[in-house]
Chain A
């Protein structure tokens, strides 16, 4: 059957309505697959995402016209979907959009096939507009849904995870309409394929292959691991991989945390040069959530267990922690004593006069002379001379985000530091343990160490005085009485310093350490280790009174009073021994010569008065400061359970209520006056 073509010039109003119907059907068949027709005209688009409108020739019979008008929205849907597929097939719209567009274009192909079936029907003369309207119903509905989705995506310019969220919402929205829902699920499944592939690579291998930035995890690749400096790791852990919230598909919302962690862990494992034994599995989107969530959880479990195993067993985290505790928390007594004995002279110098290499070699010596020699990790210990003393550092840290911040930000090295004030250990850690011993936690260790170490140093000084005071035994009884007050003060100082130390080491660090060990034996992933460790350090910092500025200031002052008292005693020792005994007994010669080395630093400002006066001054100062400290601790809110350990210190320092009694005796006003002066 060969038909001659109908020329355009025929005006339609010359044709009877029944023939008009055939012509219109032929026109519609073209219009419905986006091609031009005779009497129906497509209008120009103003906006690429707009729905296309059509104009029907005005001479068409009005009732036919209504029928055609009814059918035309299908052509608009087709137009939108077709434009969507063409555009979103381009690379820059991302893999999810590509896959979605592909699925939609398959729907379009089906639809075109349907139109050609209509055409055959038409050619055999069986098609009327009414029949046509009946036939297209199904496609009308589904194409309508697809075009809605396309329009929403176009308008919101979504890509990647956002598209998936959108589709997910659609699925949820069509619960009542199962056919529509099935359609959405088909689209969703297609669109999910590339995304799930990325997800699989990430949770099973820790690799991100995401050229268009669609995946919910982003790799802020700054440096390769090989050139990663040690202190980078703190940042590394938090910042290398980040979640991009806007890219999380709705259905993965509850698990994004473990998705991130799983890949992160795997990366750490890979960077340690271990190969991963798990296989990549295909994750599919199903309407029932269970499937992929479980797969993700399983992958996470594998990753966290493997890494935990690596850190705990292969890298011997506990051994490391113990080793660090030996040195930074002064747990290994004989090492500290050896080290202090070797370094005491160097440490009491000005920091500018200290050669760090010398300290390093002394440290080395101390490590090898003491029982620390058995520690397999001892060679990672280093010395460090910091720029500012502990008090300034703590003030600086504690003042962050308060109104005082500005004051401390510009703190310079005002006066010269003593080596003891700037000295600290540092510890060299390698990947992956640098995750746990990162810069922050090492800094915490250093703070605690500096505090403890300074106390220890002061204690040694006071003990030195105690030792040289033994010469007083050979004084005549009458003369010895004059020195009694000095010796009593020395004894009080010793008591105070030792109890401070006892408090920090035995009552704070040890219990916290035990709790920490207990906790760490139960952890299930590395993040928990990090949390436990940080918590441990924070608790130690807090209970060692480092985080309460007032207390720290007073303790520092207390210690400095002890130091100046000790220096004073060492200076005067020679004179009063000479005065009492006439000449120096040989056995004491040495200790005085030693003392002279210390004598040189510091001008003799306290020596202006008589010996008794000076001692009384020191006594007053010491007592006042100590009582101030007790007062402060006493005034801390007892209900606040944060500081309950501190009260033990109160009882320890104020043993027998010695100071409380004195407090009453001296009267409150007197005390306050002194403290402010």
Chain B
């Protein structure tokens, strides 16, 4: 009972409470063993009245909040990034303000003006303040970067003005680093983000070729809640464009109006988040920077690097737009490409390409373009002929190369397909030519008529088929897609639009000319048909060769018969001639049956192809089927 009576004076209690505000324990007010709060010492507390106990218990709550905040600040030694750092900084500032208040409390207590109750009034406001700060700190404790900003931004949704003001203050502070990063990125294309806090990240890719497509991407988790994904992508595109200009185009001119923008960002960025009105302004500013930068990149590529001309020449040479050149090139290449692939030499082919350029309209083409045009050979398998591996290439370097590089393989594939169809056309027209000339030559050999007739019919059928298909490929697919792309490109506001338009063009062509993944069936049938065309060609070749031999023999025989010495032919000669004639007739009849067999096979394949076309969901392919079978010649079961 003695200790109880020693008692504690109110001024002592006040002093202890003031200490507890700063986290220091005293005789009566002790720290909780395993916590941040304070309790009243069990022994000494007995001497306190319930009135005092109640007051002290309410007051030490402030100390608890202080400890919590302080702990949060002290734990910040861990690497938490710039934005986390700025949060700690603002918390420290707030704590400093709070210490000032305590100092003034201390001064009052020295003047004996303070009672415990009065202190309750004094601390009411700072307590609320600390409480919300602690709440914010808690929400942010395991976050960093954009996510942290989003967490703080959420506090703006509170209805009370004091919380809003506090949140604004904190938000302004934490947004400062973000704002710096953003303006650096938007205006200079630089990323200064050691702790991966910014919502754009760069991958370590060194080649310029991949810069546009792969180097930068959006880090979704770090997008602050007030920036939509759409905007983030636009911001990404802006900085990417600047990098593209700097690194690939070596264009170091500064953005026009850079300073004004810089000012706008630093001044309004944080504010913009509180006043929605200004946020609209900020977003329009972002939009404007994006548009200007993209336009600049686009203009540069269009004007300085002639992107559109490049696309045009690729279409002309790789997609067979320049007909006379392709035709002539093919004519020149026939002897070379008929060889096995292993016997081809790039330099001979290049020489042929040169020749082809020089004699056709291609010679009026821009020198630069012509230099980019080259010959390539695909990797060859064992039995490949030259036709299978020959490829025209277009070498685009620099900024344009960066843009076009990913499409190279598609162009290769397209060229291969179109080249094959072109070759078929070429073969068939040569066959036709041969037929017409030979027809007169072998007019007298009556036995050949049925054979040649069958071949003519089959060849005509093939020509019809091929012309329709070729027409479809070149006009309905290529021209239409090209026109669509030109329209898109003219409307494009950014480089990405152009790239998308180009990609759409390529993929629509790819599916149109049946070279995409879904058209494997079509390709199979087409391949069969093409093989038949080729075999018919060689058959015709053999036929005419044999026929010319037979004709020679006949003429030789005739000569002997009508020779002037009047002895005529010997028996052996006559027999030999007859044997030859028999052989020839034999050959003819076998050829004829061969051709007839082939034509049924060909017809089967065409029917299969038409069926596939008709079953396709693509309206244009259905129309092609109608065109191929316009008079119902091929009966479709």
A-to-B contact residues, CB < 8 Å: 2-8, 26-27, 29-30, 33, 35-38, 89, 91, 94-99, 101-102, 105, 109, 112-113, 115-116, 119, 123, 193-194, 201, 205, 207, 209, 211-212, 275, 279-280, 357
Q: Say whether B124 faces chain A, with CB atoms less than 8 Å apart.
A: yes
Is A7 touching B4 in the complex (CB atoms < 8 A)? yes
CB distance from B133 to the nearest CB of A (A): 14
Is B51 touching A26 in the complex (CB atoms < 8 A)? yes
Is B50 touching A36 in the complex (CB atoms < 8 A)? yes
Is B124 touching A109 in the complex (CB atoms < 8 A)? yes
Chain A minimum-CB-distance residue to B157: A211
Is A205 touching B276 in the complex (CB atoms < 8 A)? yes
Q: Say whether B507 faces chain A, with CB atoms less than 8 Å apart.
A: no
29 A–B contacts, CB within 8 A, in A order: A2-B9, A5-B10, A7-B47, A8-B49, A26-B51, A33-B120, A35-B51, A36-B50, A37-B54, A38-B50, A89-B160, A91-B157, A91-B158, A94-B159, A95-B158, A98-B160, A99-B160, A102-B159, A109-B125, A113-B121, A116-B121, A194-B159, A205-B276, A207-B276, A209-B276, A212-B157, A279-B277, A280-B276, A357-B623
CB distance from A164 to the nearest CB of B (A): 12
Is A98 touching B124 in the complex (CB atoms < 8 A)? no
Chain B residues lying within 8 Å of A5, measured Cβ to Cβ, are 7-8, 10, 47-49, 52
Chain B residues lying within 8 Å of A97, measured Cβ to Cβ, are 159
Chain A residues lying within 8 Å of B619, measured Cβ to Cβ, are 357
Identify 5 new A-B residue pairs, CB closer than 8 A, beyond the known A5-B47, A89-B160: A2-B10, A26-B51, A29-B117, A37-B54, A95-B159
CB distance from A208 to the nearest CB of B (A): 11
Is B51 touching A36 in the complex (CB atoms < 8 A)? yes
Instruction: Give 1 or 0 for each of B45-72: 1 = CB within 8 Å of chain A CB.
Output: 0011111111100100000000000000
Could you tell me the distance between the alpha carbons of A193 and B163 in the complex, rounded to whole angstroms? 14
CB distance from B29 to the nearest CB of A (A): 15
Q: Say whether B280 faces chain A, with CB atoms less than 8 Å apart.
A: yes
Could you tell me the distance between the alpha carbons of A27 and B54 in the complex, rounded to whole angstroms? 11
Is A95 touching B157 in the complex (CB atoms < 8 A)? yes
With A116-B118, A209-B276, A211-B157 as contacts: A37 and B51 at CB distance below 8 Å: yes
Q: Say whether B397 faces chain A, with CB atoms less than 8 Å apart.
A: no
Is B50 touching A37 in the complex (CB atoms < 8 A)? yes
Q: Say whether B371 faces chain A, with CB atoms less than 8 Å apart.
A: no
Q: Give me the 9 closest cross-chain CB pairs, A-B, nearest first.
A: A95-B159, A98-B159, A102-B160, A35-B54, A99-B159, A36-B54, A194-B159, A98-B160, A36-B50
Q: Is the interface of B mostly helix, strand, loop or mixed?
A: helix
Is B276 touching A201 in the complex (CB atoms < 8 A)? yes
Chain A residues lying within 8 Å of B55, measured Cβ to Cβ, are 30, 35
Q: Which of B53, B118, B128, B163 contacts A36 (CB 8 A)?
A: B53
CB distance from A578 to the nearest CB of B (A): 33
With A2-B11, A3-B10, A95-B159 as contacts: A123 and B115 at CB distance below 8 Å: yes
Q: Say whether B542 faces chain A, with CB atoms less than 8 Å apart.
A: no
Q: Say whether B284 faces chain A, with CB atoms less than 8 Å apart.
A: yes
Could you tell me the distance between the alpha carbons of A5 and B10 in the complex, rounded to whole angstroms? 8
Chain A residues lying within 8 Å of B205, measured Cβ to Cβ, are none
Could you tell me the distance between the alpha carbons of A7 and B115 in the complex, rounded to whole angstroms? 19
Chain A residues lying within 8 Å of B4, measured Cβ to Cβ, are 7
Is B124 touching A116 in the complex (CB atoms < 8 A)? no
Q: Which of B11, B47, B121, B161 contacts A109 (CB 8 A)?
A: B121
Chain B residues lying within 8 Å of A35, measured Cβ to Cβ, are 51, 54-55, 58
Chain B minimum-CB-distance residue to A26: B51
CB distance from A513 to the nearest CB of B (A): 37
Instruction: Give 1 or 0 for each of B157-173: 1 = CB within 8 Å of chain A CB.
Output: 11111110000000000
Chain A residues lying within 8 Å of B276, measured Cβ to Cβ, are 201, 205, 207, 209, 280
Q: Which of B1-52 contact A (CB under 8 A)?
A: 4, 7-11, 47-52
Chain B minimum-CB-distance residue to A123: B115
Is B50 touching A102 in the complex (CB atoms < 8 A)? no
Chain A minimum-CB-distance residue to B284: A275
Chain A residues lying within 8 Å of B284, measured Cβ to Cβ, are 275
Q: Which of A2, A112, A212 contacts B124 (CB 8 A)?
A: A112
Chain A residues lying within 8 Å of B124, measured Cβ to Cβ, are 109, 112
Is A205 touching B115 in the complex (CB atoms < 8 A)? no
Could you tell me the distance between the alpha carbons of A209 and B163 in the complex, rounded to whole angstroms? 17
CB distance from B304 to the nearest CB of A (A): 30
Is B159 touching A280 in the complex (CB atoms < 8 A)? no
Chain B minimum-CB-distance residue to A209: B276
CB distance from B33 to the nearest CB of A (A): 24
Chain B residues lying within 8 Å of A98, measured Cβ to Cβ, are 158-160, 163
Is B117 touching A116 in the complex (CB atoms < 8 A)? yes
Chain B residues lying within 8 Å of A7, measured Cβ to Cβ, are 4, 47, 49
Chain B residues lying within 8 Å of A36, measured Cβ to Cβ, are 50-51, 53-54
CB distance from B272 to the nearest CB of A (A): 13
Is B120 touching A8 in the complex (CB atoms < 8 A)? no
Chain A residues lying within 8 Å of B117, measured Cβ to Cβ, are 29-30, 33, 115-116, 119
CB distance from B233 to the nearest CB of A (A): 13
Chain B residues lying within 8 Å of A275, measured Cβ to Cβ, are 284
Chain B residues lying within 8 Å of A101, measured Cβ to Cβ, are 160
Is A96 touching B58 in the complex (CB atoms < 8 A)? no
Could you tell me the distance between the alpha carbons of A30 and B58 in the complex, rounded to whole angstroms? 11
Could you tell me the distance between the alpha carbons of A275 and B281 in the complex, rounded to whole angstroms? 10
Is A6 touching B160 in the complex (CB atoms < 8 A)? no
Q: Which of A3, A99, A119, A212 contacts B161 (CB 8 A)?
A: A99
CB distance from A171 to the nearest CB of B (A): 20
CB distance from B164 to the nearest CB of A (A): 9
Q: Which of A27, A105, A193, A279 contacts B51 (CB 8 A)?
A: A27
Could you tell me the distance between the alpha carbons of A119 and B122 in the complex, rounded to whole angstroms? 14
CB distance from A586 to the nearest CB of B (A): 29
Could you tell me the distance between the alpha carbons of A4 and B48 in the complex, rounded to whole angstroms? 9
CB distance from B274 to the nearest CB of A (A): 11
Could you tell me the distance between the alpha carbons of A210 and B58 in the complex, rounded to whole angstroms? 35
Could you tell me the distance between the alpha carbons of A641 and B161 in the complex, rounded to whole angstroms? 62
Could you tell me the distance between the alpha carbons of A212 and B54 in the complex, rounded to whole angstroms? 36
Could you tell me the distance between the alpha carbons of A7 and B52 in the complex, rounded to whole angstroms? 11
Could you tell me the distance between the alpha carbons of A6 and B11 in the complex, rounded to whole angstroms? 15
Is B58 touching A4 in the complex (CB atoms < 8 A)? no
Could you tell me the distance between the alpha carbons of A646 and B47 in the complex, rounded to whole angstroms? 103
Could you tell me the distance between the alpha carbons of A99 and B160 in the complex, rounded to whole angstroms? 4
Chain A residues lying within 8 Å of B53, measured Cβ to Cβ, are 36
CB distance from B477 to the nearest CB of A (A): 17
With A109-B125, A116-B121, A275-B284 as contacts: A8 and B50 at CB distance below 8 Å: yes
Chain B residues lying within 8 Å of A27, measured Cβ to Cβ, are 51
Chain A residues lying within 8 Å of B157, measured Cβ to Cβ, are 91, 95, 211-212
Chain A minimum-CB-distance residue to B13: A5
Chain B residues lying within 8 Å of A38, measured Cβ to Cβ, are 49-51
CB distance from A353 to the nearest CB of B (A): 14
Chain B residues lying within 8 Å of A119, measured Cβ to Cβ, are 115, 117-118
Chain A residues lying within 8 Å of B277, measured Cβ to Cβ, are 205, 279-280
Could you tell me the distance between the alpha carbons of A202 and B426 in the complex, rounded to whole angstroms? 69
Chain A minimum-CB-distance residue to B277: A280
Chain B residues lying within 8 Å of A123, measured Cβ to Cβ, are 115
Could you tell me the distance between the alpha carbons of A494 and B58 in the complex, rounded to whole angstroms? 99
Chain A residues lying within 8 Å of B50, measured Cβ to Cβ, are 8, 36-38
Is B120 touching A112 in the complex (CB atoms < 8 A)? yes
CB distance from A76 to the nearest CB of B (A): 17
Chain A residues lying within 8 Å of B163, measured Cβ to Cβ, are 89, 98, 102
Chain B residues lying within 8 Å of A209, measured Cβ to Cβ, are 276
CB distance from B441 to the nearest CB of A (A): 48
Could you tell me the distance between the alpha carbons of A112 and B120 in the complex, rounded to whole angstroms? 8
CB distance from B158 to the nearest CB of A (A): 5
CB distance from A419 to the nearest CB of B (A): 18
Is A102 touching B162 in the complex (CB atoms < 8 A)? yes
CB distance from B515 to the nearest CB of A (A): 25
Could you tell me the distance between the alpha carbons of A123 and B112 in the complex, rounded to whole angstroms? 13
Could you tell me the distance between the alpha carbons of A207 and B128 in the complex, rounded to whole angstroms? 31
Scoring B51, B163, B284 by chain A CB atoms within 10 A of each residue's CB, the highest score goes to B51
CB distance from A545 to the nearest CB of B (A): 39
Is A112 touching B160 in the complex (CB atoms < 8 A)? no
